[in-house]
Amino acid sequence: MEFSTGASLRYGWETFKTRPGFFIGATVVIILVSGAVSVLTGGIDAAITGSVDEPSLIGSLLNTALGILVSMGATAFYLKAHDDTGGVTLSSLWHPRPFWKYLLASFLLGITIAIGFVLLIVPGIIFTLMFLFTTFIVVDRELGPIDAMKESHRITRGHKWPLLGFLVLLMLINLAGLMALVVGLLVTIPVTSLAFTHAYRVLGGRAASDAAMPMSAAV
């Protein structure tokens, strides 16, 4: 299968429609947990520094660790949702392995992309697209950070500008969801996340054929 923005978005929408209530519920859980993390670490910061606006070392470390667990869980959830839409459950949101590989990969990505943007922005965009799927690969295949970055580079080669357009479109869709009284995000977040996951599977050569897509997608 060849990567296509339209096909990826169609996959996201059709897959969402097979279990809309479930995907909306999962999105609510992710948002609530993320909010709880912010409240918890903000309370720790306030207790130590006297203000939620002044981060503490303990609060920052805990915020990073818990944020990574939430991110890893969401990634694992959408990978499972893509590969087994009918079988995925909320338990897939708990996926703490491989925590340290994910942490280091996130750190290296942040440094690499930051350096790229310092070098007149364009390199930053290129690095972002080049290593777009690094954290997905860490969760999906448990590769180390460097190997995951190399693999992301490999599967995005020759597709960077189509991927840029794809990412911009995903952001616009979520912006529209935000403008729809915020509630729209409960639909746009799972749809765009499923679309992004499908793009990863297609570029990695591990996507199911069209025949394996949800029945509604074939209509």
Residue 6: per-residue pLDDT: 95
Residue 207: per-residue pLDDT: 58
Q: Which of 60, 80, 66, 3 is closest to 30 using CA atoms? A: 66
Residue 215: per-residue pLDDT: 41
Roughly how many angstroms between the first and final C-alpha of the chain, as a whole number? 19
Per-residue pLDDT for the chain (219 aa), expressed as one digit of tens each? 789 999 999 999 999 999 999 999 999 999 999 999 999 999 999 999 988 788 899 999 999 999 999 999 999 999 999 999 999 999 999 999 899 999 999 999 999 999 988 887 888 999 999 999 999 999 999 999 999 999 999 999 999 999 999 999 999 999 999 998 888 999 999 999 999 999 999 999 865 544 344 544 433
Residue 210: per-residue pLDDT: 41
Quote the CA–CA distance of 157 and 167 in Å, as a whole number: 16
Q: What one-letter code names the amino acid at 187?
A: V
Quote the CA–CA distance of 110 and 14 in Å, as a whole number: 33
Number of domains in the chain: 1
Global pTM value? 0.90
Contacts of 200-205 with C-beta under 8 Å, sequence gap 24+, read 200/133, 200/136, 200/140, 200/155, 201/82, 201/83, 202/1, 202/2, 202/3, 202/4, 202/7, 202/8, 203/3, 203/133, 203/155, 203/156, 203/159, 204/133, 204/137, 204/155, 205/155
Q: Determine the structural domain holding residue 34 and report its residue range.
A: 5-218
